[in-house]
């Protein structure tokens, strides 16, 4: 969500283990990403953020927790999704992923996590202490 340039995204995440993190994609509004994520695969989102929204540093796209939940349900997550959602958004706070969990519903309890503060697009592996579970 931080760039519409796949070259920048590929360079930023070139050192990440694809066996853990898979393939990076630029998120572009009004595109469907359904079919790219398996029912049990984890989804990692990297973005700029604040307490109210996350997205591109330039301003668009930007999503409230409710808007992101709708975009994920409409364009990204497969039916009967069982994976986890990890949101790494510099400048955001737990209130954002807590709102995302509320918008997604109780079926996602224990499966939505966030990283906050000055993290500069870092994405830690699942289970790392940097991830905070939404509540």
In this predicted structure, the answer to whether residue 14 has a pLDDT above a threshold of 80 is: no
**What's the predicted TM-score (pTM) here?**
0.87
For residues 39-45, give the mean pLDDT.
94
Confidence of residue 49 (pLDDT cuts 50, 70, 90): confident
Beta strands in 1-135 (DSSP E): 43-49, 54-55, 62-63, 85-90, 112-115, 132-133
Confidence of residue 41 (pLDDT cuts 50, 70, 90): very high
The number of residues in the chain equals 135
For residues 22-37, give the mean pLDDT.
80
What letters, b where the CB count within 10 A reaches 16 and e where it falls short, cover 51-85? eebbbbeeeebbbbbebbbebbeeebbeeebebbb
């Amino acid at each position: 969500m931080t760039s519409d340039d796949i070259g920048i995204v590929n360079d930023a995440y070139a050192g990440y283990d694809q066996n853990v993190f898979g393939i990076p994609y630029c998120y572009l509004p009004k595109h469907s990403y359904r079919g790219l994520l398996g029912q049990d695969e984890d989804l990692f989102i990297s973005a700029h953020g604040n307490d109210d929204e996350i997205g591109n540093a330039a301003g668009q796209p930007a999503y409230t927790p409710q808007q992101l939940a709708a975009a994920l349900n409409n364009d990204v997550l497969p039916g009967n999704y069982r994976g986890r959602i990890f949101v790494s958004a510099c400048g955001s706070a737990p209130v954002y992923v807590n709102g995302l969990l509320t918008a997604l519903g109780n079926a996602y309890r224990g499966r939505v996590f966030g990283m906050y503060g000055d993290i500069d697009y870092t994405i830690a592996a699942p289970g790392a202490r940097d991830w905070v579970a939404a509540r």
